[in-house]
Structure 1
Amino acid sequence: MGSTGGDSGGRSVGARDRDEEGRARNARPRDGLGRPLPYGAPGVERQPEGVVRAPEESVAEAQALLDAGKPFHAHEVFEDAWKSGPEEERALWRGLAQLAVGLTHAARGNVTGGARLLRRGAAAVQEWAADGGEARPYGMDLDGLARWARGLAQDVELTGAAADARGSAPRLR
């Protein structure tokens, strides 16, 4: 009898991709919206994870990725800031990551999930500012980002159409 697992790109059936430390990590290539592609397919370069950046660098890098239509990758930058930044800023960076993931889902055509995450991120960044954070940390316009997110959530729900990741990208500053 032959293999029961089909073609897995030369990997044994049931094998998991692992990083250098042995943690499970999907090594499949990804498209610009972070969707996994088949092994061996050309993909976009993945955003490195666990990079510690100055907050201003995080904002600039995330904006460049958003402008390029790569909100999934911008989310990775925000997630790094959330995990490595000071405790008092973690809710801010988590909210920004939710905004980027919301745009990712909306661009993938997941209207319900995208709208939900956009609204959750909007609430998080506004709550962070209301709880004693700045309304414009690192030059970011949190009120403007919250308005953008709620507007995009409403648009995708009304039209049922996927968002254009590049054309719908927010201006962080």
Structure 2
Amino acid sequence: MDEKDRERDERGRPRNARPRDGLGRPLPRGAVGIPRAPEGLVRPPAETIAEAQRLLDADMPFHAHEVLEDAWKAAPDDERSLWQGLAQLAVGLTHLRRGNVSGGRKVIARGVVRLRPYAAQPPHGLDVPGLVVWSTDVLAALDQGLGEGVPGPRLVR
């Protein structure tokens, strides 16, 4: 498939239309996959958080990251790092679930750096202090070779 024949979304942007599994890995064409969140959907913060938590609870961190990424892209400047950090935690967990411990560690470490400035006054009912603890605990467990079965984070108190 050359550049002009690439699959595109309704806005004409390149987008792979192959179905995906619960961790976002492409499946063979024609397979039944997990429906993906519509890209570019701007939700109110409470709705974003609830949907991302639902997906994390269903062990679908890749899909949670897509929801959080939309919030990050649409966020006001003073919250962009917050939403980016949340998305990075979900991406890091995705890497861990896929067996990429090194990648998961790196992304979670970047995410917690972005979240720490919001810990003193967390917006939108987010449990930023708890997310910092979760991230620190996950990173410590990975340092000890204990990355198997890491639980997903709780976004709210």
TM-score under structure 2 normalisation?
0.90
Question: Aligned-pair distance for 1:161?
Answer: 4.7
Question: Aligned-pair distance for 1:32?
Answer: 0.2
Identify the residue that residue 53 of structure 2 maps to in structure 1.
Answer: 63
Residue 57 of structure 1 aligns with an amino acid whose one-letter code is E
Which stretches of structure 1, 4 residues or more, deviate above 3 A after TM superposition?
Answer: 160-164
Structure in which a larger fraction of residues adopt helix: 2
Percent identity of the aligned residues?
55
Do 2:56 and 2:153's aligned partners in 1 also have CA atoms closer than 8 Å?
Answer: yes
1:138 aligned to 95, 99, 124, which one? 124
TM-score under structure 1 normalisation?
0.82
* CA RMSD across the alignment: 1.6
Identify the residue that residue 53 of structure 1 maps to in structure 2.
Answer: 43
Question: Aligned-pair distance for 1:162?
Answer: 4.4
In structure 2, runs of 5+ residues without a counterpart are none
Identify the residue that residue 22 of structure 2 maps to in structure 1.
Answer: 32
In structure 1, runs of 5+ residues without a counterpart are 1-12
- Structure with bigger gyration radius: 1
1:39-84 CA-partner distances (Å, limit 9, x unpaired): 1111111111111111111111111110010111111111111111
Do 2:95 and 2:104's aligned partners in 1 also have CA atoms closer than 8 Å?
Answer: yes
Number of residue pairs matched by the alignment: 154
Q: Which has the higher contact order (CA 8 A, sep 6+)?
A: 1
Matches within 5 A, 1:1-173: 13-14=1-2, 15-127=5-117, 129=118, 135-159=121-145, 161-163=147-149, 168-173=151-156
Do 1:29 and 1:36's aligned partners in 2 also have CA atoms closer than 8 Å?
Answer: yes
Residue 100 of structure 2 aligns with an amino acid whose one-letter code is N
Question: Could you tell me how far apart the structure 2 residues matched to 1:157 and 1:51 are?
Answer: 37
Residue 23 of structure 1 aligns with an amino acid whose one-letter code is R
2:6 is paired with a residue whose SS is coil
